[in-house]
A and B are shown apart, each in its own frame.
Chain A
């Protein structure tokens, strides 16, 4: 992309250039260190205090707050959260793949409008979109009132797992479309022509050429959706409520209702470790995959 030949700097200039670069990078890295890394370290420490609503925190260090996560209701809540995230990822992939294909084949104005439709929701607050789904799904909402107007029995879909799943799918769909489309856009059209020229059917071309080449986009998109839906709070809280309690809702209530900071911190650490493992695994997977494909 860069035009012109790279200019060779003498070694001492290169070194001072690098030193300036480190200085320029420092403030941003410092923010991540102070506002993310250090607080996460602090949560580790808080998790080692004895669980319970005690202030000021004292005693320990011990692992009782982690052990407490093994008793009710946490295991079943964790399983439900995991199930919702996996289902969201599957739905988002099934719906997102054809859209990404369609988008990557569109040009000009159509592509611009589609991009706008995909990107705009990402810039809206998740609370506003969850509110929209409440208005649609509630007993006195669009679905309920339409059924009543047709003199059919009112059905309220609010406060169900299905409502949570629908809203999660909607809120993560744009990410998956963009991730898949980025991969699809990088496929060399000559490859597809070659596959077809060699006699492969469109179906065979799809599974032998297109699908493997979109795998990096899929892995990036799927890990993001998986972790994002595991971490979602507004959607399960507003659309599921007590009918679909998730892990993050438990953390919130441990802090604001039970004042049990050690357990809240322990649950946060578990979630963070799980999310990091998922993201790290996905990064490793796509790196190894691309190394194998390109023989690097």
Chain B
């Protein structure tokens, strides 16, 4: 296909991808509540008005803390898993990876329903009430944050030289010293990129949170969903614009971090490294 035709198709596709976020950003600075074409001006009053929207503010803080907890827990469980998958010479390596990544391709609302049902059964059987706490949400979000950490850290570990670790061992470093002084620092880029992606994915998740969020644990995406469903209000656009900015910042950041990693891979003669920010669909 001629390059011009390909370029035109790409331009159309990129325009389609930009349209929805742009609409939100434009509406967020609209002077009035009604959308005007052409716009009569711009104003930041809806951003200031966020302070009067307790549901959105509380959703924002819930999502921030949920994202932080889920990311922390995903790092604690995901980094060891990535180490095992890349350094463990396990026979069922591919199958384990497939199991860990599988929640990304299963229907989120159904997974949420499963967690909700389990929480109800747990409460009936033991009297432990988790409804109204962050626990069910954290558990559910772990399913989608662990895959991002595992994939990103494993990709990073694949490009570092295990011989370095063997040298450290032969020079007298113990297994823990080797792990913390050699292996993990060399996978730093993958760890940071995985953590950023995991946080942003948890922060924006909607399908899994919908059935699990209630009262004080309503997350920002669920609060936005409930608000846009009922009335027109540019404050929602204002808070949405903040999340768009966060997503773009995260994309730029992971691109920056993974850059040195990629050039290192390229110099050793291999092709393109898997982009930690790019969730390659797992078959």
B283, A286: Cβ atoms closer than 8 Å: yes
B17, A170: Cβ atoms closer than 8 Å: yes
B113, A43: Cβ atoms closer than 8 Å: yes
User: Is B177 an interface residue when CB atoms closer than 8 A count as contact?
Assistant: no
B281, A238: Cβ atoms closer than 8 Å: no
The distance from the CB of A268 to the nearest CB of chain B, in whole angstroms, is 4
**Partner among B26, B159, B201 whose Cβ is within 8 Å of the Cβ of A123:** B201
Which residues of the other chain, A, contact B210 by a CB distance below 8 angstroms? 233, 252
**Partner among B20, B139, B254 whose Cβ is within 8 Å of the Cβ of A129:** B20
User: Is A156 an interface residue when CB atoms closer than 8 A count as contact?
Assistant: no
The distance from the CB of B105 to the nearest CB of chain A, in whole angstroms, is 6
- If A125-B243, A146-B37, A233-B210 touch, whether A132 touches B108 (CB-CB below 8 Å) is no
CB within 8 Å of A: which of B11-64? 12-14, 16-24, 26-27, 34-38
Interchain CA distance A114-B247 in the complex, whole Å: 15
Interchain CA distance A33-B99 in the complex, whole Å: 9
Number of interface residues of A (CB under 8 A): 114
B35, A24: Cβ atoms closer than 8 Å: no
The chain A residue sitting closest to B200, CB to CB, is A123
B248, A120: Cβ atoms closer than 8 Å: yes
Interchain CA distance A98-B105 in the complex, whole Å: 25
Which residues of the other chain, B, contact A264 by a CB distance below 8 angstroms? 113
B7, A128: Cβ atoms closer than 8 Å: no
A234, B206: Cβ atoms closer than 8 Å: yes
B166, A103: Cβ atoms closer than 8 Å: no
Which residues of the other chain, B, contact A84 by a CB distance below 8 angstroms? none
B142, A268: Cβ atoms closer than 8 Å: no
Chain A interface SS verdict (over half): helix
A238, B21: Cβ atoms closer than 8 Å: no
B228, A28: Cβ atoms closer than 8 Å: no
User: Is A135 an interface residue when CB atoms closer than 8 A count as contact?
Assistant: yes
Number of interface residues of B (CB under 8 A): 114
As a 0/1 sequence over residues 99 to 143 of chain A, the CB contacts with chain B under 8 angstroms (1 = contact) are 101110100000010111111111111111111111110001110
A39, B114: Cβ atoms closer than 8 Å: yes
The distance from the CB of A156 to the nearest CB of chain B, in whole angstroms, is 13
Interchain CA distance A227-B105 in the complex, whole Å: 7
User: Is B263 an interface residue when CB atoms closer than 8 A count as contact?
Assistant: no
The distance from the CB of A98 to the nearest CB of chain B, in whole angstroms, is 4
**Partner among A24, A28, A127 whose Cβ is within 8 Å of the Cβ of B146:** A28
- If A28-B77, A35-B139, A231-B207 touch, whether A21 touches B87 (CB-CB below 8 Å) is yes
User: Is B271 an interface residue when CB atoms closer than 8 A count as contact?
Assistant: yes
The chain A residue sitting closest to B12, CB to CB, is A95
B278, A178: Cβ atoms closer than 8 Å: yes
The chain B residue sitting closest to A281, CB to CB, is B283
Interchain CA distance A95-B22 in the complex, whole Å: 20
User: Is B265 an interface residue when CB atoms closer than 8 A count as contact?
Assistant: yes
**Partner among A115, A170, A182 whose Cβ is within 8 Å of the Cβ of B20:** A170
The distance from the CB of B90 to the nearest CB of chain A, in whole angstroms, is 5
The distance from the CB of A58 to the nearest CB of chain B, in whole angstroms, is 12
A24, B83: Cβ atoms closer than 8 Å: yes
A132, B23: Cβ atoms closer than 8 Å: yes
Which residues of the other chain, B, contact A3 by a CB distance below 8 angstroms? 161, 163, 268
The distance from the CB of B24 to the nearest CB of chain A, in whole angstroms, is 5
B115, A39: Cβ atoms closer than 8 Å: yes
Q: List 16 A-B contacts (CB under 8 A).
A: A14-B89, A36-B111, A123-B247, A125-B221, A126-B207, A127-B222, A128-B20, A132-B20, A135-B24, A146-B37, A149-B37, A170-B19, A178-B281, A224-B105, A234-B225, A237-B229
Q: A39-B117, A233-B206 are in contact. List 6 more A-B contacts (CB 8 A).
A: A29-B81, A36-B102, A118-B278, A123-B248, A182-B272, A233-B109
Task: Give the interface of A toward B (CB within 8 A).
Answer: 1-5, 7, 14, 17-18, 20-22, 24-25, 27-29, 31-32, 34-36, 38-40, 42-43, 46, 56, 95-96, 98-99, 101-103, 105, 112, 114-136, 140-142, 145-146, 148-149, 167, 169-170, 173-175, 177-179, 182, 185-186, 202, 206, 219-221, 223-225, 227-228, 230-234, 237-238, 248, 251-252, 255-256, 261, 264-265, 268, 271-272, 275-276, 279, 282-283, 286
